[in-house]
Amino acid sequence: MVELHDLAGHFFELGARYWQTADAGRPTGRLFQQLTGLGRRILAVLDGPGGAVPGPVKASDVAGVLLDAYGRELTTHPGRARTYRQVKGHWAEAEEFTPHATADQLRNFLAGKAQYELQEGRLTEALALVDQATRLPHEPSRSLHGTTATPYGDLRVLRAETLHRLYDAETALEVLVPLEKELAAVLPDGPIDESDPAAMRPLAAHLAGGDAGRATVARLLQASTVYFRLLDVKAGALRDTGRPEAAERAYLMGMPLYTASGLPEAGLLQLARCALDRGAVAEAYRRLDLAAPLFEDAHVEDRSSMRAHLRVVRGAAYCRMRAEAARLSKADRWWEQALHWCDLGTRRTADHPDDSLEAGLHAERARTHRDREDRAGAARAYHEMALALDRVLRVPLGHRFDTLHLRFRRPLLDEALAFAEETGDARLCAVVTDLLKARAFSARLSLARSDALSTPDAVAETTEQEARNGPDRAAFAELTERIAEAERHGSAKEADRLRAHRAELLTRIRATDPRWHLIRDDPPFDPDRLTRFLADYGTAAPGSNPGRCVALSLYARPDAILSLLAGPDGRLVTAVRRLDEKTLAALEAHRRELRGGGGRLDFWGHHGIGLADLIPPAFADEIADSGTCLLSPHGRLHTLPWTVVRHHGRHVVRETAIGIVPNLSCVPLLDHRPDGPVRATLLGVTRQPDGELLPEAQRAVRQLSRFLGADRLREEPFTGRHATVATLGGLLNSGPPMRGRTDVLQIITHGLPDPGAPFGAGIRMTDGMFETGEVLMSRMCFQEVLLTACSTGLRATADRGGGHGALAGPTPRTPSPLELAGDVANSLVHAFHEAGAGFVLASPFPMWSRLAIHHCVEWIVHRCHGSAPLEAARRAAVALLDDDESPEQTDKWAGITAYGAR
């Protein structure tokens, strides 16, 4: 016991020295190693024989000190670059001590981890850690033997800060409302400034009251610390919701904490930002001048490591504001100052990479060049800005955060796109429009197609197998079973409740996938890569339609369409086509037709509209003269029946194969090159759950089975009672594609769209519905999928539940519908793409089952005879047109669309 007493005394003395050294900004590595080594010795004694006897130290006392030290060690030396793998390893070492910690210590540890992940820009990981900490049980606070670890305060502040950083400022403010009421009840005059003697004087009476009085003062000061931090987060959220005056008042209230903590420059930067937002350039200069010694004098002596840390993480932001202030001032030779500060800020981002700040610096540089009429310089800067934003936007965070994030970035992207249109810069136009169209889907495809094991920085937790076998995945499977059980018992309300819970869980699974860091360094969209793909198209895989392959990207405006045409010769051309009144009226009539469930679905035939009415005639001529066109629509153009588009009155598909892609960056990712003979699996739902019969499915399966024969059938067809949810689930979890053959999945059933629920659309099986979310959780061997079911290509354009839940906090009692931004690719088609399919045949609206089955039979015949998927779809469409190409007939199958790039 004497030895344990000596070890404990030495341990707590060493802990105090560690914190003093860390606060002074001096190296702590040796002290940290000594502290953790001594802690392990004490814990070994406590875990050994007789260790459970009450003694001078508890295991939780030691664990608390060590966990705090692990959190501080990552921020003590901010200049030291750490890879994701090193950070994961550091936190994994700390986990050794968590079994000995109390719930409060674990909460503080998790909050510290969340704060670090927030600082490093891994926002969803930070929010997941806050969720984990919030679920821990509460217990009475207790002393941590003199550790100087700063409490992270109320978790609601940390949650709100993370939500604000995720561009959900409105929800962040809602999270803070109840906490601010609680703090105002304790501190009716606002937070207490410890550095102000007048503010501290009323506490003297409490201090004279013994231990109870001192405890009261400690609680008031801790509440003040939380209050100050709340004001900081609230101010940022107010500024981002268009309330700069209220934000400035909150920052001014929080300045005492910045000053007391030795970081007044942090508050000065925020106030300078508010001044620039108001156009008060002189005031912004004054605030920035006060902060200048820390950010500009490299030889300034810092009082603590936190000041050095602030200089590193906020140095680029300081430079950007200096550049903006110089540009707005229009002082003598202002442009030299603006460009100087942009260059200095870019160098600062090398010390602490921050793509958001880098994008802002490039935007400021571009504006400076534009003001000086230097178009070439502006183009280079806007292009660099777009690449930086690509790195910011490439990792999706769930459709709520993706939408809010894109709305936040939209002004910068619109600014760059307007410049590209004005100057005819097709490359810049291509990069920016791709960021505005289904960027999250491109990222998910990249992750699905990547090989985690070949990445140098990969760790065990990041492999696909590990990512697909976590507790959240097990919970998803359990919820799916409970939904089916509720439906079997006729409890629709319970099934809907469970579906909402499962959608929240799916959002978290997808946003916090541990493999996301693997694609953070993926190259951005490269137009040259696209044109090389087009140049090699005819020779890269057999069976394609002869002739050149071109790519067309459309970007819809209210009264115009921006078109970008890419050719195999490396040429990129962009142009804007203003829409005449006839075309605008036709588009509106088609929208009403779809919403009303009418039958006039051949937009082109009924309204007399041709391709040249939407894009420049020269572009339309080039597409009609090509063998293949890879087309990326946008907005309301997604619901047009592109398979039957006309040019000069003739169906383009008669000569040109048309493949639909979400954006141009997806094209190489969807490059499915047929490998070996076709092996097909047929699934026909002949009886729906409500008893409705679909006899055409049975006939189609029989016809296809006879044609394919045993050699081309992967297994016996699934029809009748065998066409179940479980059967389809097994097929979709059949693993990655096999080399040497092409597996094709044909599904004949009814589709159920749900435009207000991104994961809610589905297809009916004999015993229930298989939903989009379930497809997204799958990994299948099928590279080609035929969805002979209505409306499976229809995208959800809104989330009627607001996109809350899981990472975004509980759903409000009366949620506001969220209009999704970014032209999200969230239909069943795109879910099958994510699950492994390179090509999908489907329709965004209803179709006659007899003609749809005729089309799929024709497709399989041509596919088995050597045609590539897109070419097989073209030939199948031509066969139907040869039978009858009147609009009244094409109405019945016009929606059948080939989604893919080969």
Q: Which residue has the higher pLDDT, 529 or 6?
A: 529
Q: b vs e for 582-608, b when ≥16 Cβ sit within 10 Å of the residue's Cβ? A: ebeebbeebeebbeeeeebbbbbbbbe
* Max avg pLDDT among 481-490, 517-526, 551-560: 551-560
One-letter identity of residue 237: A
User: Quick one: average pLDDT of 116-127?
Assistant: 81
User: Quick one: average pLDDT of 7-35?
Assistant: 87
SS (H, E, C) 215-237: HHHHHHHHHHHHHHHHHHHHHHH
- Output phi, psi for 446, to 5 deg: -60, -40
Q: Give the DSSP H/E element, type plus range, for residue 630.
A: strand 628-632
Local confidence band at 283 (pLDDT 50, 70, 90 cut-offs): very high
Does residue 561 carry a pLDDT above 70? yes
Would you give the distance in Å from CA 207 to the centre of its chain?
51
Q: Encode pLDDT of 682-718 as tens digits.
A: 999 999 888 888 889 999 999 999 999 999 999 999 9
Does residue 883 carry a pLDDT above 50? yes
Task: Point out the least confidently predicted range of 202-216, 311-325, 607-621.
Answer: 202-216
Q: How far apart, in Å, are the Cα atoms of 726 and each of 74, 349, 680, 730, 771? A: 47, 51, 19, 6, 12
∠ CA 18-19-24, rounded to 5°: 100
Structure token pair of residue 706: 């006879």
Structure token pair of residue 13: 């003395």
Local confidence band at 77 (pLDDT 50, 70, 90 cut-offs): low
User: Quick one: average pLDDT of 637-660?
Assistant: 97
Task: Point out the least confidently predicted range of 63-72, 375-384, 837-846.
Answer: 63-72
User: Quick one: average pLDDT of 783-790?
Assistant: 96
* CB-based contact 562:547 (threshold 8 Å): no
Does residue 148 carry a pLDDT above 70? no
3-state helix, strand, coil in the chain (%, to 5): 60, 10, 30
pLDDT at site 598: 72
User: Quick one: average pLDDT of 284-293?
Assistant: 95
Q: Which residue has the higher pLDDT, 723 or 26?
A: 723
Q: Encode pLDDT of 163-207 as tens digits.
A: 998 888 988 998 999 999 999 998 998 888 877 788 788 887 777
Q: Encode pLDDT of 317-359 as tens digits.
A: 999 999 999 999 999 999 999 999 999 999 999 878 888 999 9
Q: b vs e for 536-548, b when ≥16 Cβ sit within 10 Å of the residue's Cβ? A: ebbeebebbbeeb
pLDDT at site 457: 41
User: Quick one: average pLDDT of 572-582?
Assistant: 96
Structure token pair of residue 676: 């070996």
**If you average pLDDT over every residue of the chain, what do you get?**
87
- Output phi, psi for 621, to 5 deg: -60, -45
Please give the Cα distance from 498 to 485 (Å, whole number).
Answer: 11
Does residue 54 carry a pLDDT above 70? no
Does residue 377 carry a pLDDT above 80? yes
| CA distance from start to end of the chain | 75
pLDDT at site 350: 86
pLDDT at site 142: 42
pLDDT at site 518: 64
484 DSSP β-pair partners: none
Write out the DSSP string of 455-523.
-TT--GGGSHHHHTSSHHHHHHHHHHHHHHHHHHTT-HHHHHHHHHHHHHHHHHHHHT-TTGGGGTT--
Structure token pair of residue 8: 């404990």
Does residue 469 carry a pLDDT above 60? no
Does residue 57 carry a pLDDT above 90? no
Local confidence band at 459 (pLDDT 50, 70, 90 cut-offs): very low
Does residue 542 carry a pLDDT above 50? yes
pLDDT at site 122: 78
* CB-based contact 233:243 (threshold 8 Å): no
Does residue 456 carry a pLDDT above 50? no
User: Quick one: average pLDDT of 407-424?
Assistant: 94
* CB-based contact 678:714 (threshold 8 Å): no
* CB-based contact 811:500 (threshold 8 Å): yes
Local confidence band at 75 (pLDDT 50, 70, 90 cut-offs): low
Please give the Cα distance from 280 to 561 (Å, whole number).
Answer: 38
Does residue 599 carry a pLDDT above 80? no
* CB-based contact 71:117 (threshold 8 Å): no
Does residue 463 carry a pLDDT above 70? no
Does residue 369 carry a pLDDT above 50? yes
Write out the DSSP string of 767-817.
TEEEEHHHHHT---S-SEEEEESTTTTPPP-EETTTT-SGGG-SPPSSPPP
One-letter identity of residue 582: K
Closest CA to 572 of 443, 431, 366, 380: 431
Does residue 778 carry a pLDDT above 80? yes
Does residue 831 carry a pLDDT above 70? yes
